[in-house]
Amino acid sequence: MVAVSANRLELLQIADAVAREKSIDRSIVIAAMEDAIAKAARSRYGQETDIHADINAKTGELRLARHLLVVDEVENTATEITLDGARRHNPAAQVGDTIADTLPPFDFGRIAAQSAKQVIVQKVREAERDRQYDEFKDRIGDVVNGLVKRVEYGNVVVDLGRGEGILRRDELLPRETVKTGDRIRAYVYDVRREPRGPQIFLSRTHPQFMAKLFAQEVPEIYDGIVEIKAVARDPGSRAKIAVISRDQSVDPVGACVGMRGSRVQAVVNELQGEKIDIIPWNPDIATFIVNALAPAEVVKVVLDEDRERIEVVVPDAQLSLAIGRRGQNVRLATQLTGWDIDIMTEQEESERRQKEFAERTKMFSEALDLDEMMGQLLTSEGFTSVEEIAYVSIAELASIEGFDEDTATELQDRALKHLAEVEAALDARRTELGVEDDLKSVPGVTSKMLVAFGENDIKNVEDLAGCATDDLVGWTERKDGETIRHAGALDGFELSREDAEALVMQARVAAGWIEADEPAADGDDAAAAEA
């Protein structure tokens, strides 16, 4: 196949055939042949010899040349030549130049020819892998069609025509069975370059697989008139998809459903009967969450934007529908919206409100030495803490029906006195626990936090600076299939992870570990870095 004595055109014909068969560039095949011939020639002239082969891409003419380095004193005759010897080839040669010494053609032996063939096969295989990777790395996020080539331990190898994809068992739909020769559609979610060749990872459970299927079935999505804003799936069982229209005359839900449900049914059939709720997306998060909980009806929502949490109140009869079988409906709505959703019935909400009202009334009555009626009056006016009463304006307190300026002043004095007593008690407890004074100077740290720190063996600024975010707010882990919650030092303070991280960073500034204007490092890693 690679004998030098072969017909010149035969070399080019071989290169053309291999390039067509493997779908790679002809020049790559010719370069592989040149390397193979050079390797075979070295087996004849010596492995140390620097031999180069050159095949003319138009005529097929082969030239072999030995490259020699021009030196003053030759140490290796296989790779070096004296200046006098070099000038017999090229009168202008200088020390440090390279001289090409043409070699005569020769016939390969059987072993040399076999070795050259292996070089060509290896080079062509590498070029084919590069071509596959370059072709498929730009197709991440696309849906591809292929034939099932084989099934190995539940994993499916799919023939994609110019490459092979792997569909792992956990990326197949539950209870889905595929056989060799079946035609299958899947989503390309990753392409990696690996020693054994490019690995093309496919999925039929990825949320974007559904989005791409809708784009294929719904022209309005393909044209950009209707946009898919979010997708949440419980593969093989149920899914929710949020859509919005950029054209007021086009109903996004109707466009996805199609005439008599034809479009959505095509997607459902591809996903083995997975039920799909198509939901209109809304920029108002409360409205969007109400839509996402369909088919359940919602009576009221209460948003906590700081914690991205929402309480949803539904009629008593709608509770099971809102939660769904095994929590499926609320879980999908949470995935779709990105908010934590707490669902309660009207009766539960009423009982909770009554309990909160009674607790706040009792708190005001005891802290401010009031009768129950005045405590109820403050609670019904929306006050939730003694701090609010202590620092609200006298005029606002006096505006409450039945209050005058003297009553308001007396209330505020009692509130300030109570807060001072609480502060003194907390400071005494903090001192008793051995928490140092310098920890009080860290911005964001309160007296209650100081006590909590002392109870968790955080005694000074250095201790707080060495904490990770999880040490303050806690963390969860899965163990033996069960989720275990580990409490943090500031559990119960309703502190977000961002707030906790900011607290740790302030402590590191106070401890002199970092500069005040230095960008915050990851809260969990920086402590280890400083340790």
Parse the chain into domains and list their residue ranges: 6-122, 139-203, 437-511
DSSP 442: S
Degrees (nearest 5) of the Cα angle 288, 483, 173?
60
204 and 172 Cβ atoms separated by less than 8 Å: yes
Q: Is 98 helix (H, G, I), strand (E, B) or coil?
A: strand
For residues 436 and 457, what is the distance between their CA atoms, to the nearest angstrom? Answer: 11
Q: Which of 175, 176, 179 is nearest to 157 (CA)?
A: 179
Q: How far is CA 161 from CA 22, 136, 247, 350, in A?
A: 12, 12, 39, 63
Q: At what angle do helices 207-217 and 262-270 cross, to 10 degrees?
A: 140
The whole-model pTM stands at 0.57
Q: Name the token pair of 176.
A: 């889905």
DSSP 520: P
CATH architecture label of 6-122: 2-Layer Sandwich (3.30)
Contacts 24+ apart (CB under 8 A), 311-315: 311/342, 311/344, 311/349, 312/341, 312/342, 312/343, 312/344, 313/344, 313/345, 313/346, 313/349, 314/343, 314/344, 314/345, 314/346, 315/345, 315/346
Residue with structure tokens 């996805």? 256
> Which fold, 139-203?
OB fold (Dihydrolipoamide Acetyltransferase, E2P) (2.40.50)
DSSP 318: G
CATH architecture label of 437-511: Orthogonal Bundle (1.10)
162 and 23 Cβ atoms separated by less than 8 Å: yes
Question: pLDDT value at position 179?
Answer: 86
Question: pLDDT value at position 1?
Answer: 38
- Bridge partners of 278, per DSSP, are 241
Q: Which of 422, 370, 415 is nearest to 390 (CA)?
A: 415
Q: Which of 257, 249, 251, 247 is nearest to 224 (CA)?
A: 247
Q: What is the pLDDT along the chain (531 residues), one digit of tens a residue?
A: 344 434 456 666 776 776 676 666 777 777 777 777 777 777 667 677 777 777 777 776 777 777 777 777 777 766 777 776 777 777 777 777 777 777 776 665 555 556 656 666 776 777 667 777 777 777 888 888 989 988 888 888 888 887 788 888 888 888 888 888 889 999 998 888 776 666 888 999 999 999 999 999 999 998 889 999 999 999 988 999 999 999 888 999 999 998 988 999 999 998 888 899 999 999 988 888 888 888 888 888 888 777 778 888 888 888 888 888 888 888 898 888 888 888 888 888 888 888 888 988 898 888 888 888 888 888 888 888 888 888 888 888 888 877 888 888 888 888 899 888 888 998 899 888 898 888 888 888 888 889 998 888 898 989 898 988 888 888 887 666 676 778 888 888 877 888 888 889 988 988 888 887 654 444 444 443 343
Q: Name the token pair of 322.
A: 């809102």
